[in-house]
């Protein structure tokens, strides 16, 4: 079903109306227009659906409404009729998931699951990373000066739906109180305008990032961070030029401030220590947890309803109620008693064994939930290029997009030319995916993007870690050892998620199953690698909680192993990230990133079952 058809069903319009009415009630003032529409809503919605189905619907003129501002002035909103707002909300419901993944990570406003607190925390983290200066700016008359022709062109690059674009054209051509429509200006009171404004302002976000300046933008409020006053001057010039290229201008009150002197952004007063970074922001502690055991010679057993982990000399390392354990991850020579094995299988507790180096070895599955019919469809899809290749392209596109986001989030002024070149290469590989006609071609593009990505990542990590690219089996440095270890944790969880969804983790759509590996699990984790493991490792390296001291060599084996302290630091950070709770990464779904992994496995099963859409997560 096309986006237009999805957005214009009677049910979609009814959902949009209920959301609009709920918003009006939440504001405390229900307008006359909303009250009138509610009086015969069923008939009005039916009429709207019929007009949209016949392609005869046309929006009405906008009504100017003046709203007092705090500084004594007024802001003029252009408000559509209620019926038009219902249509716009229905369109926004299908367009937001398409637009959102293409927005820059600097953008926080008007995005599902993100808000002021997230933006404030991002600024605080950048401050704590040593960026002591800020350019505080806004865009003068933002919505009225947006070039609607540019918006229309950008939207057409993302969607191929002539009917929907026709309706957008009609919305962009609306008049205000009878005045002729112009090529500039989005109505600030229209439900679709915020998403379209974000799309237009991505140029400004990209300009700052490409020049090596991390920024946070909330609507038209901008906070660009820099290490020195001179850098801040350059950053201001960059966004000023970008605004001019959009036909816009920065406000007259644009200032360069320091955290030492303090400044206000989004209603928060920033100083050298306030507001603090809150490590528990968006992290929800679950009732059950994964237990990781990597002490050589340790043994896991069950006694009196409790899980015990003990060393060979009977020193107790862990003693927790079995009801608090969700899964077990065992690395190296770790014993599992017969009683613990029976308990795990009986209580659907996954057991994931790994090598001392952190390589995935397999899985002790609980009772299988696989269905024969689903397995047959999975095999058929894997053996049919017309079915496997589209999802394979989507998997790799989602991974590359998140690799770009991570580099953008980590970007700094010093290596910005190298990282900008790498991002350009990654995006070029992504655009070539549509023409890739085989798994080998798709994997070739993925590999080229990965080389550019890890090159950029190496420029953004401390020089003493000497990370110059990805290597494995064996990893030759601490970063590669940590990445391999983290990927093993992720693969184990993906295997469990796929098995729970009734899929065989060994039968891949992108990765082949000819080398005895969990190919579908490797497919599933592609987009989660940069989102979870790479971010965890990069952040730990930059915070110096992962250092060269966390690596060791074994005289009998080549390569680098993580020390016990290194494994502990990585596992703690990995768990913290997996417990991050978010909304908006997938339409209509909220939960931890661990739950998102399981949700993606379920969506993949639905895709194989009956062709349901499968899309990557939007970074949150």
- Are 275 and 282 in contact by the 8 Å Cβ rule? The answer is no
Question: Which strands form 316-321's sheet, in the order they lie side by side?
Answer: 316-321, 306-310, 299-303, 335-336
Cα dist. 162→4, 80, 199, 434 in Å? 9, 23, 19, 20
- Annotated ligand binding at 206? The verdict is no
Q: Which two tokens stand for residue 539?
A: 């952040």
- Annotated ligand binding at 50? The verdict is no
Place of tokens 């016949």: 54
Cα dist. 62→85, 141, 180, 410 in Å? 11, 18, 11, 42
Helix/strand/coil for 336: strand
Helix/strand/coil for 115: coil
d(CA 100, CA 475): 36
If one counts every other C-beta atom within 10 angstroms of the C-beta of residue 189, the result is: 18
- Are 458 and 534 in contact by the 8 Å Cβ rule? The answer is no
Among residues 568, 574, 423, the alpha carbon closest in space to that of 488 is found at 574
DSSP 180: P
- Annotated ligand binding at 365? The verdict is no
Tell me the three-class secondary structure of 337-402, residue by residue. CHHHHHHHHHCCCEEEEECCCCCECCCECCCCCCCHHHHHHHHHHHCCHHHHHHHHHHHHHHHHHH
Q: Which two tokens stand for residue 511?
A: 């990765």
What single string gives the DSSP state of each residue in 421-476? HHHHHHHHHHHTGGG--SHHHHHHHHHHHHHHHHHHHHHHS-GGG---S---SS--
DSSP 250: B
Q: Residues forming the annotated binding site?
A: 446, 511, 526
Q: Residues forming the annotated binding site for Mn(2+)?
A: 446, 511, 526
């Amino acid at each position: 079903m096309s986006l237009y058809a999805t957005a214009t069903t009677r049910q979609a319009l009814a959902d949009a109306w209920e959301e609009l009415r709920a918003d009006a009630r939440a504001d405390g003032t229900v307008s006359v227009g909303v009250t009138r529409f509610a009086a015969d809503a069923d008939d009005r919605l039916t009429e709207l659906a019929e007009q949209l189905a016949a392609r005869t619907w046309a929006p009405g003129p906008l009504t100017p409404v003046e709203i007092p501002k705090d500084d004594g002035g007024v802001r003029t909103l252009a408000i559509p009729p209620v019926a038009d707002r219902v249509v716009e909300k229905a369109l926004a419901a299908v367009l937001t998931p398409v637009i959102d993944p293409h927005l820059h990570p600097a953008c926080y406003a008007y995005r599902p699951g993100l808000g002021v607190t997230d933006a404030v925390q991002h600024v605080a983290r950048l401050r704590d990373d040593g960026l002591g200066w800020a350019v505080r700016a806004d865009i003068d008359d933002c919505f009225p000066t947006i070039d609607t022709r540019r918006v229309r062109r950008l939207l057409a690059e993302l969607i191929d739906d002539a009917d929907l674009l026709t309706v957008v054209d009609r919305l962009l051509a609306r008049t205000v109180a009878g005045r002729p429509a112009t090529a500039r200006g989005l109505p600030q009171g229209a439900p679709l305008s915020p998403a379209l404004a974000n799309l237009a302002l991505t140029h400004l976000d990209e300009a700052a990032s490409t020049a090596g300046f991390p920024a946070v933008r909330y609507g038209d409020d901008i906070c660009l961070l820099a290490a020195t006053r001179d850098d801040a001057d350059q950053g201001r010039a960059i966004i000023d030029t970008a605004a001019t290229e959009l036909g816009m201008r920065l406000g007259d009150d644009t200032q360069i401030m320091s955290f030492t002197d303090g400044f206000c952004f989004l209603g928060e007063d920033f100083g050298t220590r306030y507001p603090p970074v809150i490590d528990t922001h968006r992290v929800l502690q679950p009732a059950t947890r994964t237990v990781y055991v990597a002490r050589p010679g340790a043994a896991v057993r069950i006694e009196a309803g409790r899980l015990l982990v003990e060393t060979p000399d009977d020193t107790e390392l862990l003693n927790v109620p079995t009801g608090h354990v969700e899964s077990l991850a065992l690395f190296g020579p770790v014993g599992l008693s017969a009683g613990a094995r029976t308990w795990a299988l009986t209580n659907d507790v996954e057991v994931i064994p790994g090598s001392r180096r952190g390589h995935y070895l397999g899985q002790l599955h609980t009772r299988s939930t696989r269905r024969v019919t689903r397995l047959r469809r999975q095999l058929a899809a894997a053996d049919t290029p017309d079915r496997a290749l589209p999802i394979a392209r989507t998997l790799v596109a989602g991974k590359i997009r998140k690799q770009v986001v991570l580099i953008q989030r980590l970007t700094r002024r010093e290596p910005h030319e190298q990282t900008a070149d790498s991002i350009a290469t990654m995006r070029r590989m992504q655009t070539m995916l549509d023409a890739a006609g085989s798994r080998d071609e798709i994997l070739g593009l993925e590999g080229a993007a990965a080389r550019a990505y890890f090159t950029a990542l190496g420029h953004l990590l401390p020089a003493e870690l000497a990370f110059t690219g990805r290597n494995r089996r064996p990893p030759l440095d601490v970063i590669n050892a940590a990445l391999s270890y983290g990927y093993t944790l992720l693969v184990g969880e993906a295997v469990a998620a796929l098995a729970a969804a009734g899929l065989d983790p060994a039968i891949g759509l992108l990765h082949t199953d000819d080398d005895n590996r969990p190919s579908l699990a490797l497919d599933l984790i592609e987009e989660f690698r940069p989102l979870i493991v790479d971010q965890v490792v990069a952040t730990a390296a930059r915070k110096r909680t992962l250092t060269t001291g966390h690596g060791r060599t074994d005289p009998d084996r080549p390569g680098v192993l993580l020390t016990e302290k290194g494994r502990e630091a990585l596992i703690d950070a990995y768990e913290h990230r997996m417990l991050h709770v978010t909304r908006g990464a997938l339409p209509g779904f909220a939960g931890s990133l661990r739950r998102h992994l399981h949700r993606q496995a379920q969506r993949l099963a639905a895709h194989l079952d009956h062709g349901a859409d499968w899309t990557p997560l939007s970074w949150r």
